[in-house]
Amino acid sequence: MTDTDVKPPMAPGVRLGRVSFVWRPWLVAVTLLLAAATFLVFCLSIAVGDLFVSLPRVVATIAGRGERVDQFVIMDLRMPRALAGLVVGIALGVAGAITQSIARNPLASPDVLGITAGAGAVAVFLVTVSGGVAATVAGTVGLSAAALAGGLGTGLLVYFLAWRRGIDGFRLVLIGVSVSAAMEAVTSWLLVTADIRDVARAQTWLVGSLDGRSWNEVRVALCCAAVLLAVAAAAAFQFRPLHFGDEVAAGLGVRYTVVRAVMLLCAVLLAGAAVSAAGPVPFVALVAPQVGMRLARRPTPPLVVSGLVGALLLIGADVVARTVLPVTLPVGVVTAAIGGPFLVYLLVRANLRQAK
């Protein structure tokens, strides 16, 4: 037997038809630990409030074995807020992982690319402009659907402006920052010229908040996120070869242009659905994929881990905003306090890498 006859050791896995699943114990362990931590913080978010409910009672009520009083406090009053944080966090984490993988740039999150700013601008327009067509659209379509459409339109605009025989990560970030600045300028102009009562309502929504979420808003966001996550999961197997470049993906028979467009569309719609449910919560989509990538020890942000980190970050920030701080603040203030220094860290790290 020669050296050429010896095959290199392969990672253990399972093959079903044309799809292969590689067993990665560390990734599985990290995913399970994050899922357990997210569920624990989710129950803690439901437990805290003016009337504290113990964690065993929260779990029993979620399982359908709680008392009538607990059913009312947990399921009717507190569950919509906690569930909105869970859905929004997962959506932002997965959206950030997709955009950063496509652009191959850790700064390419929906916040930086202007998707959340576009969704916010459309929503503020409907909140602040009264009468005429705007009032009719707001009454029939709803604020959530309008924010979703605004995020989609902004995402498509950034994608087409950045397309030059392919997508370059640096160009995508630059155009996204420019479009985001333009959308924020439109939002500022609307706030300056609007009625003071509408401005107060819009400003609270713009910061990013889970306060006052209703079951109707949660159901819309949950349905949209479930469909988009299913599509992203189905396309993820074709999406992995794109990490090695378009030439390698084409050699493996992957229609990289179609796959990239489908995944980017899912990311844009996930970000829009998150904004429609909780407002433009800043930095979750930026921080979660980078933290998930480091926890999973992967070269690119893993989708499932990024989504769990996003949910854990958002729900945890909401608990901190309601309990630890001396005054109750919107959750977007806490995530901005976390994400701002992390963004500086990414910029410094990128500059040091270029200097070498």
The reply to whether 15 falls in a domain is no
Residue closest to 34 by CA, chosen among 22, 26, 23: 26
Q: What is the CATH number of the domain that holds 96?
A: 1.10.3470.10
pLDDT (tens place) for every residue of the chain, 356 residues total = 444 444 444 445 544 444 445 567 888 999 999 999 999 999 999 998 888 888 899 998 888 887 888 888 888 888 999 999 999 999 999 999 998 888 888 888 888 888 888 888 888 888 777 544 554 555 545 677 778 888 888 888 888 888 776 666 678 888 888 998 999 999 889 888 877 777 777 776 777 888 878 887 788 888 889 999 999 998 887 777 776 666 666 676 777 778 888 888 899 889 888 888 888 888 999 999 999 999 998 888 899 999 999 999 999 999 998 888 777 788 888 898 888 888 788 778 777 776 66
Task: Classify residue 134 as exposed, middle or buried by CB count within 10 Å of its CB (0-12, 13-18, 19+).
Answer: middle
**Per-residue pLDDT tens over the stretch 159-204:** 888 877 666 667 888 888 899 899 999 988 988 887 777 777 777 6
Task: Classify residue 11 as exposed, middle or buried by CB count within 10 Å of its CB (0-12, 13-18, 19+).
Answer: exposed
The reply to whether 140 falls in a domain is yes
The reply to whether 42 falls in a domain is no
The reply to whether 311 falls in a domain is yes
Residue partners of 341: CB distance under 8 A and separation at least 6: none
The reply to whether 8 falls in a domain is no
The reply to whether 259 falls in a domain is yes
Domain that holds residue 195: 81-346
Domain total in the chain:
1
The reply to whether 315 falls in a domain is yes
The reply to whether 55 falls in a domain is no
